[in-house]
């Protein structure tokens, strides 16, 4: 993996470093004069699976799909594959021994059939306590993507959250990314009823 270079990406607006919290007037975090706990971004490991299950639960409950069931076991299996596959990767953000964010990345063929590859995320979430670490997670992802000669583009969604789309957009744009197209969605209400109310496997 290439060494980290802050100048590799054209940042259009200042983004707080991963270890820096913003003032309480912005996200209700710590005072701007306080010394925040340090956040470490590292590769995921098997010991993180329980914490990752809890992270998925929090992300799911903050998403537009919170009324649908979620298979935590399948998520953990995908995380294990990402830890082992040469074309996938999992990073976690850890603060004071607690996992406060994660990004699971994969590569695939552009448009499904091209020999050129695209790098994308299948899970990217940072808790309120981990705000700021999304910047470092994204840097790690972009460096990883650029390490593959056949990866020609990076595609990220703003997520399915009900609160954070604009904040995520600002983060992506700070790295020089541009919005490309839109996603249109139609709920099939009769089919949705088959899944009942909000249910989810135990995060553990």
Q: Which CATH number characterizes residue 180's domain? A: 3.40.630.30
Query: Does residue 33 lie within any of the structural domains?
Result: yes
> What is the SS3 assignment for 105?
strand
* Domain-located, residue 121: yes
Examine residue 10 and state whether it is found in any structural domain, yes or no: no
The model carries a pTM of: 0.78
SS3 assignment, position 47: helix
DSSP 38: P
Does 7 map to a domain? no
Q: What is the mean pLDDT of the chain?
A: 82
188 assigned to some structural domain: yes
Per-residue pLDDT averaged across 53-70, rounded? Answer: 92
- 36 located within any domain: yes
Q: Considering its fold, how many domains does the chain have in total? A: 1
In this structure, what token pair is assigned to residue 161? 């959250």
Domain that residue 83 falls in: 24-195
* CB-based contacts of 175, cutoff 8 Å, min separation 6: 9, 10, 11, 138, 139, 142
What is the predicted pLDDT for the residue at 28? 34
Q: How far apart are CA 101 and CA 28, in angstroms?
A: 18
Read off the pLDDT of each residue in 34-53 and give the average, rounded to a whole number.
Answer: 90
Q: What percent of the chain has pLDDT over 90?
A: 59
Poorest-pLDDT segment among 26-40, 52-66, 90-104: 26-40
Q: Kindly report which listed range (8-12, 51-55, 110-114, 149-153) carries the lowest average pLDDT score.
A: 8-12
Give the pairing of strands 151-155 and 117-126: parallel
Q: Is the pLDDT of residue 158 over 60?
A: yes
């Amino acid at each position: 993996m290439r060494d980290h270079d802050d100048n590799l990406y054209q940042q259009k607006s200042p983004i707080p470093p991963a270890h820096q919290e913003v003032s309480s007037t912005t996200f209700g975090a710590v005072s701007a004069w306080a010394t925040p706990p340090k956040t470490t971004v590292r590769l995921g490991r098997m010991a993180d699976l329980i914490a990752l299950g809890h992270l998925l639960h929090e992300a799911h409950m903050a998403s537009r799909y919170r009324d649908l069931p979620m298979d935590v076991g399948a998520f953990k299996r995908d995380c294990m594959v990402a830890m082992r596959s040469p074309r996938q990767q999992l990073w976690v953000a850890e603060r004071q021994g607690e996992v406060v964010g994660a990004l699971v990345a994969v590569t695939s063929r552009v448009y499904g059939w091209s020999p050129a590859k695209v790098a994308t995320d299948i899970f990217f979430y940072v808790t309120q306590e981990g705000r700021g670490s999304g910047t470092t997670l994204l840097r790690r992802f972009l460096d990883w993507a650029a390490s593959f000669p056949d990866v020609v583009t990076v595609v990220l969604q703003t997520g399915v959250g009900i609160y954070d789309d604009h904040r995520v957009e600002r983060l992506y744009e700070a790295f020089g990314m541009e919005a490309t197209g839109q996603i249109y969605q139609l709920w099939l209400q009769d089919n949705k009823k088959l899944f009942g109310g909000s249910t989810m496997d135990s995060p553990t």
